Amino acid sequence: MISQKLETAINEQINKELFSEYYYLSMASYFNSVGLDGFENFFLVQAEEERFHAMKMYRFVNERGGRVILSQIDTPKTEFASSLEVFQLAYEHEQFVTKLINDLMDLAIPENDHAAKSFLNWFVDEQVEEEDSMESIVSKLKLIDGQGNGLLMLNKELAARTFTPATE
């Protein structure tokens, strides 16, 4: 049985994960509007990942005897100045999500909820990958100054990304 405190916190995180999906869809839409289909693909895949994360949490709460309560999703930013700005914002967002996951773990530890700690470890590890991915692309965009052939090569690279659900 999950504690009410942890159930409430994970419900809030489910909402944040769904917001992340929405945020990344907005970023994908921006890239579609400027003709960078590879960048669009990157964020469409990222949005799928965020939905996967939310549903993973959804199932966990239900499996532990809790109840998922959904709340309103905020409107994401829709206008961006450049590819670099989008990825910088995505990197900052992933850093924010890392803090939220760490806060959940900090809640599970004193509650001595071993199942929650085990479950959350997957997300702790996942956030290392998420931050690294965004930071790597930010670095590449800075190197190419977000322009020219370098931008087109990166667009081609990002077009190859696919969503592969993680095994649990």
Contacts of 22 (CB under 8 A, 6+ apart): 47, 73, 76
Q: What's the fold here for domain 4-71+80-159?
A: Ferritin (1.20.1260)
Give the model confidence (pLDDT) of 28-40 as tens digits: 999 999 999 999 9
Contact status, residue 119 vs residue 60, Cβ threshold 8 Å: yes
Q: How many whole angstroms separate alpha carbon 32 and alpha carbon 121?
A: 35
Distance CA 160, CA 151 (A): 15
Average pLDDT score, the chain: 96
Please provide residue 115's backbone torsions phi and psi, each rounded to the nearest 5 degrees. Answer: -65, -45
Rounded CA-CA distance 48/77 in Å is: 18
Query: Is the CB of residue 58 less than 8 Å from the CB of residue 119?
Result: no
For the cut 90, the answer to whether the pLDDT of residue 146 exceeds it is no
The model's pLDDT over 113-135, given as tens digits with 9 standing for 90+, comes to 999 999 999 999 999 999 999 99
Determine the Cα–Cα distance for residues 42 and 37; give it in Å rounded to an integer. 9
- pLDDT of 168 reads 57
Percentage of the chain beyond pLDDT 70 is: 99
Q: What does the domain layout of the chain look like in residue ranges?
A: 4-71+80-159
